[in-house]
Amino acid sequence: MSHWNAVYQFPIDKDLSELAQFIQRYRLPLRIAEENNHQILSSLDPRLSELLLPLLQRWDAGEIRFADVHLEQAPAEEPGADAATEEPADFEAGAGAAARQDEEENRKLAVASPLPTWPWRKTPLSLTLIALSFLGWFLLANNLVDALLIYPDRAGDFQLGNSTLAWHLAHGEYWRLWTPALVHFSLPHALFNALGIWILGRPLEARAGTLPFAALVLLSAAASNLTQYYWSPRVVFGGMSGVVYALVGCVFVLQRWQPGWRDVPAGLVPLAVGWLLFCAAGLMTLFFGVGVANAAHIGGFVAGILLALIYCRVGGARNFSPDSGAA
């Protein structure tokens, strides 16, 4: 039975996304795991320790980039050869050599997750939003959300100046522009939005940085809440889905600005947009009897697109280049 052998040890806060992409690109038999407050690169082949050590030391010191390191495929073995492994490949740029593991071991290894993993300290706001989503569901289940929602308007002609929102703002309750996003009306509601933040929010925050990500969340939460309130002022609404759709809009722009960015599966945006249209057409309510804050979804999606365009125009898209690490 094969055992993992430690090859190199990195600090816990070291961004290893470039290394992970290199491993995935060449399907090397390596893995990265957190152990004892460090990130450990390990291999099933002890020969790789000696071969990779100079390369890893130079990369860790900032002397080279893995984007500039290439592997040459080893020649195919002749029929009848006993060896199950290939000859080591050559590293260009004077980096040394690295061996490829045999095909059977390679098929068994999950060298890279379909979704990149990020150190938790790189995505504090995303994790906080996930926790707040479940907290909002708990508060609703215990009738503790009156101070978080925008009260619905009375029947009659809607006038913004005489609306409940205007009353809230006149009394200094500005937090209500954002807090409806925290309230979730069921556990599945909270779960789906938490999943959206996990898949979409963490890559965005890890690469753009927490402050730009916080600006995206705050602006899109207010935009989606105001859009929903203006569209249906007499309906109580809540949930993080407006923010999630802002993340969808942001990813939509970034995947076109940086086509090589692969942190989010390419098919996820079309799926999310299809779901938005399905709900906006009233089919969700028709078939399942579930009310959906469609205006919040649309408002968040549009806000995410606009904010992402501004972010890319001022140069932020470079953080999402395949050759860049997380911000």
Element (H or E) spanning 32, and its range? strand 30-35
CA separation for the pair 52, 186 (Å, rounded): 50
Q: Write down the pLDDT at residue 2.
A: 60
* pLDDT tens-place string over residues 132-151: 999 999 999 999 999 999 99
pLDDT digits (tens, 9 = 90+) for 96-119: 444 344 344 434 433 434 556 678
For residue 162, the model assigns a pLDDT of: 84
**Region for 172 from its dihedrals, namely left if φ exceeds 0, alpha if ψ lies in -120 to 50, beta otherwise:** left
Report how far residue 187's alpha carbon sits from residue 141's, in angstroms, rounded to the nearest whole number: 10
User: pLDDT under 50 in the chain at which residues?
Assistant: 76-113, 327
DSSP state of 258: S
List residues bridging with 42 in a β-sheet. Answer: 6, 31
Predicted pLDDT of residue 291: 80
Name the catalytic one among 42, 220, 241, 324.
241
pTM: 0.66
Q: Can you say whether residue 93 is alpha, beta or left, with left for phi > 0 and alpha for psi between -120 and 50 degrees?
A: left
* Residue 232 annotated in active site: no
Q: Quick one: 104 exposed, middle or buried, by C-beta within 10 A (0-12, 13-18, 19+)?
A: exposed
Task: Spot the catalytic one: 17, 297, 321, 324.
Answer: 297
Residue 264 and residue 203 in contact, taking contact as beta carbons nearer than 8 Å:
yes
Domains by residue range for the chain, with CATH:
5-108 (no CATH), 120-320 (1.20.1540.10)
